[in-house]
Every structure is written in C-alpha cells, then in structure tokens.
Amino acid sequence: MAYFKIINKGKGINRLFIGGVHGKEGLSTIKALQEIQEDDVDEGKLTIHNCDESPYLSTLNPLYYKSEVGKEVLYLINYYQPQIYVEAHCYKKESYPKLIAPGRRTEEGVPPLIELEKGVLIGSASPNIRTTLFKKDDVCITLEMPCNPSYDSLDVYVKVLRILAASRNRGDLEKRMKEIYPVQVETARRYAREFFGDYPPF
C-alpha cells in the first residue's frame, strides 16, 4: 500500500499529505490520495506519501513518534517543511461516536473531530507535533473517513483533499472551506481558540 508522489508547480508553499500512519488505514487512504493529480495544484509543491501497514499506536501517544513509522512521519515533516500538512486517516464505524464526542477533550486531551458530511471528519493534527514542528500560521489537519469508505464518503474526502491541495495559505483555505462548510469552519476556529489559545491550528 506504499505510495509516493510529488507534484511540483514551481514557486509557492510546500504541502505534505501523509496517509496510513498506523495500522491498516493505508488500505483505505491510498484510494483517496491516488486521486490527487497534477491539475489539483496550481502553484508550489505537494508531496503525497501513503505508509505501509504498521502496528497501531495512536498519534496522540508521544511514544508513537519513537516507532518506525512515527520516525518516518517526523522525517518527512522535517525534510519537506510543509506550510499545509494533512494526515489522512480512516476509522472503524464503531469509533465514530467517540471521535466526535464532546468528552473527547477530557478523555483523550484533544477536541472532538467535526463532521463535514458523509462521515468525513476534520480536526487538528496531534498536539505532539502541531506545537513543536509547525509555525502558528501553518495548517495542520487530520482528515478522517470510514475505513473501506462508501463512494459518497470517498468523494467528499477527495473533494476536501483537492481544496487543501489548491489552497495557497491559511486564509485561502479558510475562504474555500467556508463556502462549503461555514458552520464547521467556525466550530473548528472555536475549538482552536479554546484548546490552543494563541496558537490556533485552523
């Protein structure tokens, strides 16, 4: 399930999409990442990497970044220095209530994910890397869909990836996303202010 692609359109920002960062998620995320093509990027660079299967360890666990695949993720971030970073994930359907539950902040130390539509969820990348490897104005997104997604879920997931691939900066991304998901973007901004204070991820 490993997959690697670079789209280079010259001057502009660096973007990095990484899928399948733990367990067997890569079997699903590769279906979406392979849909991103040259025409989806107007300027700058997009690097896409889908990881091989690995033991499941949550990215919220600091020990994740000491694992083989965690070190791979850190290497890619440090090497490509992205201003837009996306972790492409998938979730088992029985995990959905837990991922969006308001109590997620108490139980796991992070805000709940936000549903865009068709079971596609969005949130910030793990605080373990968000506040240490990225600048305040960088975009660090976790994007989730059901594993073995339906056509509708996959379609929404790819649509959001294309928005991220085309965006030139945080402001451009927020503008594009607000046109389709105004309520969700405002919720994400509120969660960011509450959780990160003066260090908002989205």
**CATH number, residue 170:** 3.40.630
Confirm whether 138 is domain-assigned.
Answer: yes
Q: Which domain holds residue 111?
A: 3-196
Does pLDDT of 56 surpass 80? yes
Confirm whether 110 is domain-assigned.
Answer: yes
Do residues 33 and 17 lie in contact, with contact meaning Cβ atoms separated by under 8 Å?
A: yes
How does residue 196 score in pLDDT terms, banded at 50, 70 and 90?
confident
In this predicted model, what pLDDT tens digit does every residue of 123-158 receive, in sequence order? 999 999 998 999 988 999 999 999 999 999 999 999
Question: Rounded CA gap, 142 and 60, in Å?
Answer: 12
User: Number of folded domains in the chain?
Assistant: 1
How does residue 192 score in pLDDT terms, banded at 50, 70 and 90?
confident
Confirm whether 201 is domain-assigned.
Answer: no
Confirm whether 168 is domain-assigned.
Answer: yes
Burial annotation 156-188 (CB, 10 A radius, 16+ → b, else e): bbbbbbbbbbbbbbbeebbebbeeebeebbebb
Mean pLDDT of 163-168: 98
Those residues with Cβ within 8 angstroms of residue 83's Cβ, 6 or more apart along the chain or in another chain: 13, 14, 15, 135, 137, 138, 139, 169
Confirm whether 165 is domain-assigned.
Answer: yes
Does pLDDT of 195 surpass 90? no
pTM for the model stands at 0.95
Q: What is the mean pLDDT of the chain?
A: 94
What pLDDT is attached to residue 136?
Answer: 86
Confirm whether 46 is domain-assigned.
Answer: yes
Confirm whether 202 is domain-assigned.
Answer: no
